[in-house]
Structure formats: structure tokens, C-alpha cells
């Protein structure tokens, strides 16, 4: 027989035979990616592949297969909407929050913006900021600025189109702040007062990232200072920047309507505005718990996400919308980079946002249809006498499988950390089981990393989530994120030099961003804490007697995310104050955190045969 666990992301199979005493003897296992949405007919291809692979690995012909046991896989869809609460809008090139890799010079320069061509005719008396187009060589730029300075003209800063700031700065008689790589150089407004600031290597600007510094430079009154404060906030952390004051320039920090959610509980109903932040959203979810359904405000992103997830489930499961309900919602406060309108070099500002993950379940399962299709496909492959049975409730099977982990005992809690949802189940000393299912898991972490780092590349975000980091400091050594150094006998690839890299099983992969190692690591760990640690504590409180976590003895982590190099430790640290023994499962002492449900299906079926013959 083969027990098969259809999960959100993976399908696992456990092959066993029943011995003369009615006990299950496990012969092998297999793992493949789930095809389609869990609990739908599209799962058949993945189930058949996992069954065939498990037989092949054990050297058993498919004709010998008698029974396939499927879990009661109720369809689950998790959706994500990223709601920006504020947005910085800067028009008419009021700000260039530019941060090139290698600005030149250092210090703060204030003056009137002029074209490079006009510098030769400039006369002393007014400090100038010179704008240099792409067709001027750096030698010419330096010579012209030096000549102007010898005539008594005060050139207090420069803005370059080309990547020449250091080359120009090295040839000047008087050091001035210079920024380069300004792609839209023609958009920089001439004739306006501007301030250029460049910090020393390893430091960030101080004056232009301070609202009162801007007020001092440009002579702003309190109301104008309030209006330009988003400019200063957006420049925080930059090594260089330019701020230009235009008479008609408009800077505003405005609230974007994020939409309201209506939370329908078993006894209470509440409405909460997403723009008020994740803490208030989750407080309302807790207040109306148990959650029965959620609706979103029409015409908003959060409302659209709720409607799309609901409609997708209805289409996949052939249910009406009335039979599709959202049973859990997770809200997370985050920061996402948004492009600044009016910038001239792709400037971005970090804006407050709320990530929403919703989980939908249908009124009933369609697993019998899946079982019928699996039977038909396996018979077509040669398993003439196979019987496909929907073998048991997923939570009960998971705890049966988890109990085969050496060193565990009842009462036991299982945390199944998958791709789409975080599931928890508890088995009491008397054998009673209880389960809860929460929105938000590995896929949500990947999307948070992608959004916060501005990658626009989910594959790269997934790699960052799974792998530790390092920084290639030379062609022969990498400094790891824990501070240790790894040396190599052969030179590293040129593409990795001076880059932050991921250190995966297949080797070293450069991350094509300008974020520091500490920044990437911080985003990765924070995303995992906000999803997995929060959901672990929510789940444990939901199933612990009286919500008291001290009543829980053992917690076993299962699922693909339990194989992560830091998630188990983060959760173990979070539950340690409650005296809970927490660790990654090792199903049957051989399978690690995988195969718990599949093994539980086999064990339950074998026990039912023994009971039937007793």
C-alpha cells in the first residue's frame, strides 16, 4: 500500500506492506511537487508520479500495488495583497534622492544650478552647482571647473550624467561634492537653488536628510518645513543627494485609501480600515474569533484580493461563491520601496504598507473525485487491482506520523509549516485530536522579501529565503553572515567579487542588488519572524487548553519550511519561555520533517485492519 499526502506545495508518498501480525513495514518514500491546487482533480498527475516513484525506488512492480490512501485534502488558497498606506509624491524635480555607487568629493554645497556650457562665462559673486551632460569628458569637466575657480567663481557642487564623479574629483584643485549617474540629467531644473551633499565612505548624509537642515538651507517657515519632511525622510541612509527648490514644486505626503475589511465571526462582526495597520487588523481578527468569513471594500486592493481568492476557489472546486468562506486572515506591517514621482534617477522612498494573507476553504471536499481519477490513472499504468481510499483527516494523520519521531510523547502538538498555510494539530493523552489552519507560510515570506528589497524577482527572493548569505571580499575569500571567513583555493567568479552572495547547495550565487548583507539578512529574518513565529504562537494559543501555552509539552515541526536553516530556531526561541520542547520532526527516525501525514495514513489503515480482525 502507499499513503499519499497532498500538500499545498508538495505531494509525499510512503510505501509499506502489512506483515503477518498486521503491522506496517515501511519500504520507501517519494516526494514531488503538487500539481494544481490542493484537493482538486488537478492533483492526480502529482499523486500518480509520487506513487510510481515510491514503487520504483523499492524495486516493486506497479502490478503488486493493492491500496492507495489519500489524505482528506480540503482545498486551500492563500492570497496576498500589499497595501501602501502612504506615498511620497514629489513633482517638478523638487528632489533628486540619488545614491550612486561612487560619488566624488565630500561635504555640502549650496548654489544656483547652471549648465556646464555656461560655466566658462560665469562671473564671481554667486555660488553655482554645475550640471554636466553625457557628451563631456571628465578631463574637460575638471579643467573647466578649475579655470572658473581661478577666476574667483565659486563652484560649490556638480551633477554628472556619466559615472565620472571620482575621476573629476581627483583632478580638482578645490574639493567639492559631486554626484553622478543621473540618468535624466535634462530634467534637473536650471536657475534654481540647490544643495548637494556627499558623505565620507561608509557614512550617510546628515543635513539633507534632516527636515530642519532643509529649512536652514532654503529658509523655510514651519508650514513649508512640514511639507518637505517627506523629502528628508526619503533621503535617510543615502551617501549622497541633491535637493532642488522650485517655486512651483509640490511635495506632499498623502494617505492612500487602503480599503476596509469586514470580519465576520461566529458571534461578532467588525469593520477595520487596513490603513490603520496590521496590529489593529489582527486585534479585530482575535476579537471576532473564530473567524467565519471576510469581505473587502469594493474598489480597493484589499477588497479585490479577497474577491479574487474567493472566485479562484469557486472556479477550481466547482462551488458557488456562497459556499466559499475565508477562515483566516494574517496582516503584517512592512516597508516597501515606491518610486518617487518627479525624481530624475529612479529614486525610491520606503513607504509603510500592510501585507494581507487570506485562506479560503470550501463547504465540502471533492477528494472522492480525486480518488476516482487516481484509480483510473494507476489502472492505466498496470495496477489492475488497485483501490484508492480517502484515508483520514489530515490533522489526525499528521500527529500519528509525528509520534514516530524518537523522544516524543502525548500530549503532542504538530506545526506543519508549508507553502500556503501554517497548520497545527494537538493530540491529547487520551488520543483526542484538534486542529487549526492559519493563513501565511513560506510563499508569504518569499513575497515579503521580494517586496521589501524591491527585487521584482520571486525566484531570487526564494533563494534569499532558503540560503545563508556571504560577502565576497576578495577573489579568494568570503565573509559569512555570522562573521566567519571561508577561504578558497581557486579564484571566485568575477561576477561574485564585492557582491553579497547566497550560499546554496549548488554553489555561490551573486545577488544583483545594492543592498548590504546586513540589510538583506535583516529583511529575511524579520519576514520569517512576522509569519512563522507569529503564526506558531497564534496556532498554539488556539489549541492549548484555555489558551495557556504552558499546558503544551512537545511541539514537532513538520513540512518543507521545517528544513529551513533558521525557522526552527526562531520558533524554538519563541516558545522556550513556556517550557515547551520544540524541534524539527524526524518521522519514523529516517524521514526528517517530511512524510508525517503519508506515514500516518499507513499506520491508521494497518491499525484498522488489526481492529477488524480482532
In this prediction, residues 363-392 reach a mean pLDDT of 88
pLDDT at 260 over 80: yes
Residue 483: φ, ψ to 5°: 95, -15
Assess contact for 370 and 70: CB atoms under 8 A. yes
CA distance 594 to 14: 10
94-250 has CATH 3.40.1160.10 classification = no
Residue 364: φ, ψ to 5°: -150, 165
Give the pLDDT confidence score for residue 82 in this predicted structure.
61
Confidence of residue 21 (pLDDT cuts 50, 70, 90): confident
More confident: 242 or 132: 132
Give the pLDDT confidence score for residue 473 in this predicted structure.
92
Helices 394-402 and 596-613 cross at an angle (nearest 10°) of 90
CA distance 99 to 179: 8
Residues near 213 by beta carbon (within 8 Å), at least 6 away in sequence: 206, 207, 232
CA distance 270 to 499: 48
SS3 call for 517: helix
Give the pLDDT confidence score for residue 401 in this predicted structure.
93
Confidence of residue 316 (pLDDT cuts 50, 70, 90): low
H-helix or E-strand spanning residue 83 = strand 76-84
Q: Give the C-alpha distances (Å, rounded to integers) separating 8 from 13, 34, 417, 467, 519.
A: 14, 7, 10, 22, 30
Right CATH number for 1-73+365-400+597-613 from 3.40.50.2000, 3.30.300.30, 2.60.40.1730, 3.30.420.40? Answer: 3.30.420.40
Give the pLDDT confidence score for residue 253 in this predicted structure.
46
Please tell me the number of Cα atoms within 13 Å of 603 on its side-chain side: 17
Give the pLDDT confidence score for residue 512 in this predicted structure.
87
Residue 340: φ, ψ to 5°: -85, 120
Convert 297-326 into a string of H (helix), E (strand) and C (coil).
CCCCHHHHHHHHHHHHHHHHHCCCHHHEEE
Residues near 160 by beta carbon (within 8 Å), at least 6 away in sequence: 132, 141, 168, 178, 179, 180, 181, 182, 185
More confident: 359 or 484: 484
H-helix or E-strand spanning residue 447 = helix 442-452
CA distance 29 to 50: 8
Assess contact for 246 and 91: CB atoms under 8 A. no
Give the pLDDT confidence score for residue 435 in this predicted structure.
86
pTM, rounded to two decimals: 0.76
Same CATH topology for 79-85+256-361 and 94-250: the answer is no
Alpha helices in 507-566 (DSSP H): 517-528, 534-543
Confidence of residue 600 (pLDDT cuts 50, 70, 90): very high
Confidence of residue 105 (pLDDT cuts 50, 70, 90): very high
Which tens digits make up the pLDDT trace of 186-234?
A: 878 888 888 999 998 878 899 988 989 989 998 888 988 877 776 777 7
- Buried b / exposed e across 248-284, counting CB within 10 Å, b at 16+? ebebebeebebbbbbbebeeeeeebbbbebbeebbeb
Residue extents of the structural domains in the chain: 1-73+365-400+597-613, 79-85+256-361, 94-250, 407-585
CA distance 366 to 317: 7
Give the pLDDT confidence score for residue 93 in this predicted structure.
39
pLDDT at 341 over 50: yes
Residues near 275 by beta carbon (within 8 Å), at least 6 away in sequence: 83, 85, 255, 256, 257, 258, 354
Which tens digits make up the pLDDT trace of 156-196?
A: 999 999 999 999 999 999 999 999 888 778 878 888 888 99
Instruction: Give the rounded distance of the alpha carbon of 33 from its chain centre.
Output: 21
Label residue 34 exposed, middle or buried (CB < 10 Å: 0-12, 13-18, 19+): buried
Confidence of residue 262 (pLDDT cuts 50, 70, 90): very high
Q: Give the C-alpha distances (Å, rounded to integers) separating 404 from 23, 252, 410, 535.
A: 14, 60, 11, 25
Residue with cell 473564530: 290
Which tens digits make up the pLDDT trace of 558-588?
A: 988 999 999 999 999 999 999 999 999 999 9
Confidence of residue 609 (pLDDT cuts 50, 70, 90): confident
CA distance 325 to 279: 23
Right CATH number for 407-585 from 3.40.50.2000, 3.30.420.40, 1.20.1250.20, 3.30.530.20? Answer: 3.30.420.40
* Terminal-residue alpha carbon distance, the chain: 21
CA distance 473 to 485: 10
Give the pLDDT confidence score for residue 337 in this predicted structure.
75
Q: How do strand 193-198 and strand 240-245 relate by DSSP bridges?
A: antiparallel
Assess contact for 227 and 252: CB atoms under 8 A. yes
The whole-chain average pLDDT of the chain stands at 86
Residue with cell 524539527: 584
Confidence of residue 366 (pLDDT cuts 50, 70, 90): confident
Give the pLDDT confidence score for residue 94 in this predicted structure.
47
Count CB atoms within 10 A of the CB of residue 221: 9
CA distance 212 to 210: 5
Highest averaged pLDDT of the listed ranges 183-197, 264-278, 516-530 = 516-530
Residue with cell 510505501: 15
In this prediction, residues 53-77 reach a mean pLDDT of 88
Q: Give the C-alpha distances (Å, rounded to integers) separating 523 from 417, 501, 530, 566.
A: 20, 15, 10, 13
In this prediction, residues 71-77 reach a mean pLDDT of 72
- Could you name the CATH architecture of 79-85+256-361? Alpha-Beta Complex (3.90)
Assess contact for 404 and 599: CB atoms under 8 A. yes
Confidence of residue 592 (pLDDT cuts 50, 70, 90): very high
pLDDT at 68 over 90: yes
Least confident of 3-7, 248-252, 355-359, 411-415: 248-252
pLDDT at 345 over 60: no
Would you give the DSSP letter of residue 125? T
Amino acid at each position: 500500500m502507499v499513503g499519499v499526502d497532498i500538500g499545498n506545495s508538495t505531494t509525499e508518498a510512503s510505501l509499506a506492506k502489512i506483515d503477518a501480525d498486521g503491522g506496517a513495514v515501511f519500504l520507501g518514500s517519494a516526494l514531488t511537487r503538487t500539481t494544481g491546487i490542493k484537493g482538486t482533480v488537478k492533483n492526480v498527475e502529482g499523486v500518480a508520479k509520487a506513487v510510481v516513484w515510491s514503487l520504483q525506488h523499492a524495486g516493486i512492480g506497479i502490478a503488486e500495488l493493492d491500496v492507495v490512501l489519500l489524505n482528506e485534502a480540503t482545498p486551500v488558497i492563500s492570497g496576498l495583497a500589499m497595501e501602501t498606506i502612504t506615498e511620497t509624491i514629489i513633482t517638478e524635480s523638487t528632489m533628486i534622492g540619488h545614491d550612486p555607487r561612487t560619488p566624488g568629493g565630500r561635504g555640502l554645497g549650496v548654489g544656483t544650478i547652471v549648465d556646464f556650457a555656461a560655466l566658462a562665462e560665469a562671473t564671481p559673486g554667486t555660488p553655482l552647482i554645475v550640471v554636466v551632460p553625457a557628451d563631456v569628458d571628465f578631463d574637460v569637466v575638471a579643467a573647466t571647473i578649475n579655470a572658473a575657480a581661478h577666476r574667483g567663481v565659486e563652484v560649490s557642487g556638480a551633477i554628472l550624467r556619466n559615472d565620472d564623479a571620482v575621476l573629476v574629483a581627483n583632478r580638482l584643485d578645490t574639493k567639492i561634492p559631486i554626484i553622478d549617474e543621473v540618468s535624466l540629467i535634462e530634467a534637473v531644473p536650471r536657475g534654481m537653488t540647490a544643495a548637494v551633499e556627499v558623505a565620507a565612505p561608509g557614512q550617510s548624509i546628515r543635513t539633507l536628510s534632516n527636515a530642519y537642515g532643509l529649512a536652514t538651507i532654503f529658509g523655510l517657515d514651519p508650514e513649508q518645513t512640514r511639507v518637505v519632511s517627506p523629502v528628508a525622510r526619503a533621503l535617510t541612509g543615502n551617501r549622497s543627494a541633491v535637493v532642488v527648490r522650485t517655486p512651483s514644486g509640490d511635495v506632499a505626503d498623502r494617505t492612500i485609501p487602503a480599503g476596509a475589511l469586514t470580519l465576520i465571526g461566529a458571534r461578532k462582526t467588525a469593520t477595520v480600515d487596513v490603513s490603520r495597520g496590521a496590529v489593529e487588523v489582527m486585534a479585530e481578527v482575535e476579537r471576532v474569533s473564530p473567524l467565519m468569513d471576510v469581505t473587502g471594500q469594493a474598489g480597493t486592493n484589499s477588497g479585490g484580493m479577497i474577491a479574487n481568492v474567493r472566485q479562484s476557489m469557486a472556479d477550481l472546486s466547482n462551488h458557488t461563491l456562497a459556499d466559499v468562506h475565508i477562515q483566516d486572515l494574517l496582516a503584517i506591517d512592512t516597508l516597501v520601496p515606491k518610486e518617487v514621482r518627479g525624481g530624475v534617477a529612479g529614486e525610491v522612498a520606503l513607504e509603510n504598507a500592510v501585507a494581507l494573507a487570506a485562506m479560503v476553504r470550501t463547504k465540502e471536499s471533492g477528494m472522492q473525485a480525486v480518488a476516482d481519477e487516481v484509480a483510473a490513472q494507476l489502472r492505466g499504468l498496470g495496477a489492475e487491482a488497485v483501490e484508492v481510499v480517502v484515508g483520514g483527516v489530515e490533522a489526525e494523520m499528521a500527529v500519528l506520523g509525528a509520534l514516530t519521531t524518537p523522544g516524543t510523547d502525548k500530549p503532542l502538538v504538530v506545526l506543519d509549516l508549508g507553502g500556503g498555510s501554517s497548520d497545527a494539530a494537538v493530540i491529547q493523552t487520551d488520543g483526542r485530536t484538534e486542529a487549526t489552519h492559519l493563513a501565511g507560510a513560506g510563499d508569504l515570506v518569499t513575497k515579503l522579501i521580494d517586496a521589501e528589497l524591491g527585487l521584482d524577482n520571486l525566484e531570487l527572493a526564494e533563494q534569499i529565503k532558503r540560503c545563508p548569505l556571504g560577502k565576497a571580499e576578495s577573489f579568494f575569500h568570503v565573509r559569512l553572515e555570522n562573521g566567519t571567513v571561508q577561504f578558497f583555493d581557486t579564484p571566485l567568479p568575477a561576477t561574485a567579487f564585492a557582491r553579497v552572495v547566497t550560499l546554496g547547495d549548488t554553489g555561490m550565487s551573486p545577488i544583483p542588488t545594492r543592498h548590504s548583507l546586513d540589510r538583506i539578512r535583516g529583511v529575511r529574518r524579520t519576514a520569517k519572524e512576522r509569519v512563522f513565529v507569529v503564526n506558531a504562537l497564534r496556532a498554539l494559543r488556539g489549541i492549548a487548553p484555555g489558551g495557556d501555552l504552558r499546558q503544551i509539552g512537545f511541539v514537532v515541526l513538520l513540512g518543507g519550511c521545517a528544513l529551513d536553516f533558521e525557522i526552527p530556531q526562531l520558533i524554538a526561541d519563541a516558545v522556550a519561555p513556556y517550557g515547551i520542547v520544540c524541534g524539527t520532526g524526524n518521522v519514523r527516525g529516517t524521514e526528517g520533517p517530511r512524510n508525517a501525514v503519508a506515514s500516518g495514513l499507513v499506520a491508521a489503515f494497518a491499525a484498522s485492519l488489526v481492529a477488524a480482525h480482532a
